[in-house]
A and B are shown apart, each in its own frame.
Chain A
Amino acid sequence: MVEDELLKTHRQELRRGTVVLACLMALRAPEYGYALLKRLDAAGIASDANTIYPLLRRLEERGLLVSEWNTDDTRPRKFYRTSPTGVELAAQLMNDMTDLTASLHAMNGGPER
């Protein structure tokens, strides 16, 4: 039985990069922070509010997301959308992820040494 603390740490490490990928893919359709958070949650991609909000800003700074304030609703919300560069990056990362998963599966199924 793996210790909880140990599992938690390694899970976090494993998920760190995938949250970025999930955001870039989810935001191909514009969404505001809180709605994105719920959507990721519903999709089974665990993420915290205190990582998502800073992450959105960082991705915007790097030109992978673009943002726009929408004041039509009951309260003003900042909508983020994946930029063309972001879409391209996400496609490449997704390929890598698929390859990586395939490799891990192969290793898992392969003969033990």
Chain B
Amino acid sequence: MTQLSERYLTAAIRGIPEAERADVERELRSSIADALEDRLSAGEDRLAAEKAVLEGLGDPVRLAAGIAGRPLYLIGPDLFVEYRRLLFMLLSIVVPIVAVVLAAVDLAGGDGFAGAIAAGISGGVNAAIQTFFWVTVVFVLVERVDAAREARDEIAGASGRWTVDRLPALQPSRVTAGETVGEIVTTLISVGGILFLSGAAWFADASGDVIPVFNPAVWSLWMPILIAVLVSIAGLHVVIFLAGRWTMPLAFAHAALQLAFSVPVVALALTGSLINPKFADAVRWPPLADGNGPAMLALAIGTVLVTAWYIFDGFRRARRADVRTSGIGEPGQAAR
């Protein structure tokens, strides 16, 4: 045996479990010697013969994996579907929660609006990376560790025993009049609420003037804009009803209008310029108007969550309708 063969054996043996090492090494050693002998007796040059034999055995890491019965993939087809399902489910839950919580904590810590957004984004990215990493690590271990065989069979069995009961239900893609009326009523209630609060005359100052709820310095500008946006949203729902279904362009328009409403509201709330400080004093709770106070923080977080849901829902419906009209007969698409 020359150095080349020894190097090959060492590389191959490294990947074999301790208990089988001696046996595998002995067998490989004699196999290499046999093959080499054959080639030498056929008159081949020693170095060329040895190279040919070892290259015939292929990558020692691959050979060792084959002998040890170790998979040459991270997650095999038996587990992959469940892996992906769990990963997407966890990502869609963990990432938004972590992002919102971290942004809120940052705000509560006295940081500005921009700082809070940055904290939320970086927190969300970190949460996504962590989730991805740990879910993958667990599945890779389940795939490879012998003790996890039961878990592997369980998971593979769960995805393997597919029955028609597991088919996702078909949602009617046609937008109904009821849905549309519901959306419009909701939007108009918001308009009514704004008008009601703007006109409320619950308190008066010493000179008898009404103390408005909203900060008069900014409200005269923003109130008409916000109402206009809300009315546009109601109008858009009429357009969607007439179109019969959500489409991607409609979902984008919807998202833009939702943002046009929520971004100013959140910005006003967090900068402390939404509520009239005098009103906060009048109700004897000055922190009400404070941009970093609990009330404005709750309003901002609530607005962000509700808006995120509305936008997500719009795109979800648009995609569902897309799949319904274009994806008939394309396997895999409808199942998503």
A residues adjacent to B (C-beta < 8 A) = 32-35, 38, 48-51, 53-54, 57-58, 61, 69, 75-78
Contacts and interface: CB of A to CB of B under 8 A. Distances in A.
Contacts of B56: 48-50
Interface in B157-182: none
B58 A48 contact: yes
Contacts of A58: 69
Nearest to B65: A54
Interface stretch (B30-38, B123-131, B223-231, B232-240): B30-38
Contact of A54 (B30, B38, B63): B63
Interface string B37-80: 01000000000000000001110001100110100000000000
Contacts of A49: 31, 35, 56-58
Interface in B185-210: none
Contacts of B63: 50, 53-54
Given A32-B31, A34-B31, A35-B34, 12 more contacts: A33-B27, A34-B34, A48-B56, A50-B62, A50-B66, A53-B31, A54-B66, A54-B69, A57-B67, A75-B34, A76-B30, A77-B30
A25 to B, nearest CB: 21
Nearest to A38: B38
A37 to B, nearest CB: 8
A58 B57 CA distance: 17
Contacts of B30: 32, 34, 75-78
Nearest to B67: A54
B27 A78 contact: yes
B323 interface: no
A51 B66 contact: yes
B298 to A, nearest CB: 61
Contacts of B62: 50
Nearest to A35: B34
Nearest to B54: A49
A57 B34 CA distance: 19
Contacts of B35: 34, 49
A77 B27 CA distance: 7
A34 B29 CA distance: 11
